[in-house]
Amino acid sequence: MVSVTDNEIIEPSGERLKAPPPPPPSKRLGKAMSMAMVVGTIIGSGIYLLPATTAPFGLNLVIAFAVVTIGTLALAYTMSRLSATLPGGPYSYVAASFGDTAAFMTMWSYMISLWAAIAAVSIAAAGALGHVVLAIGSGPGLVAFSIAAIAVLTLVNWNGARSAGVLQVIATLLKIVPLVLVVVLVLVQVSSGSPVEPLADTPLNFKAVVAAGALMLFAFTGFETAAIAANVTDNSQDAVPAATFRGTIYVAVIYLLATLSVLWLLPSAIAAQSAAPFANAIAPTLGALAGGLVAVIAAVSAIGTGNACVLSAVETGRAIANAGDLPPAFARTNANGVATLTLLVSAVLSGLLVLASVSDSFIEVFTFVALVSAVAALFLYLVCAAAAWKLKVAPAVVALLGILYSLGMFVGAGLEATLWGFGLMVAGLPIRWLSRRSTSRAAAGGRAVLGE
């Protein structure tokens, strides 16, 4: 077992790893904010198209939901137990289990996935609002709005984790409106004695369950956000485990009810062809307002996810730098406890990815980078599940289920994306070597000046 004392972790090598200092109490996330980080990150843009992509599978989608939910909960539970046992977030969990090199590679990979995610969700927000304001739906308007969104999220996070937490709570409450609304509409329809639409008449079979599950996999990612932000969360060893596990359960229930409700309101054949199934399901009640409402809420949903990704990128970069694997400047914080250089670099790189997506020749590449970034996050899930198994902080059967489920998600992503994700992970090693070398030289120079 790993030894933990006074926020210090002793790695397998015997080296002591100290978690970064937390921000002032007034700048930390509270319990509700931690929960909003989980719920608001998992509920991104994927759920709004899930009824359309899974409509042809009929009852198979219910079984697929059960399988994906169980696998995701296994991962969320292992993460919650790690956060309850060890301080410092996932870098600390992996370092305590497999050493600092594995911790760097895992978190470097995850940080890249966050940069791409910030760009992707800012573009998604612009695309959603483009249904209401045509000028920002494509071309220069889309780019301008996307970069402006990144700039606003950067300013929010510059003011501290609590500022980001307030925005996350508001965005999370708004983004569940259409999900809850379709459920309410079904209940009203059933209570009035009107029949609901039947699900697609697709025979139950293993192949259909696997296909439906593959479409759901990445709609459930993001449960790790509370753990990533553990160092800026008040009473984190109580708040983070509760937010991680309970938040995942809440989202799983909302996802299943909302998806089925849309398919009970719309014929499956129509839902399968819909570019906006929630808007189409709500339209009979709200009329022309439905499309605009869902578009605005989808944009808010994307912005909320981007907000959590910005905070996660800052905390991930700070944890890496705190361990000496990035230059020390990336760990330095302002009065609000924010690693400002890490924040600015994340914003700039995400903005460059937005610019890269402008040219038609880059759209395909950018789409693939988004998939690779999702794969990069899977390495974190796999390694943390393995860490929970090794450190015996969770039942072995749950940790093993998390490991197997993570491997299954890699299969769902495809070999090419997985290999690219692994390549990005390895590409960080030269940066780590240069950072450690420069830090060692600076330390040696300081000792020489002091006459040591």
pLDDT at 452 > cutoff 80: no
CA distance 47 to 254: 10
pLDDT at 137 > cutoff 90: no
What pLDDT score was predicted for residue 369?
Answer: 61
What domains appear along the chain, each with residue ranges and CATH number? 24-444 (1.20.1740.10)
Structural tokens at position 325? 């694997």
pLDDT at 224 > cutoff 80: yes
Residue-wise pLDDT for 418-428, tens only, equals 888 888 888 88
What pLDDT score was predicted for residue 289?
Answer: 79
34 pLDDT tier (thresholds 50, 70, 90): very high
Higher per-residue pLDDT: 286 or 303:
303
Q: Which strand ranges, in their side-by-side order, compose the sheet holding 16-18? A: 3-5, 8-10, 16-18
pLDDT at 18 > cutoff 80: no
Whether this model's pTM surpasses 0.95: no
pLDDT (mean) for 122-141? 82
Percent of residues in the chain assigned helix, strand, coil, to nearest 5: 75, 5, 20
CB–CB of 284/194 below 8 Å?
Answer: no
Bridge partners of 4, per DSSP, are 9
104 pLDDT tier (thresholds 50, 70, 90): very high
CB–CB of 425/105 below 8 Å?
Answer: yes
Query: For the chain, what is the mean pLDDT?
Result: 84
pLDDT (mean) for 8-37? 70
Structural tokens at position 383? 């390694």
CB–CB of 312/38 below 8 Å?
Answer: no
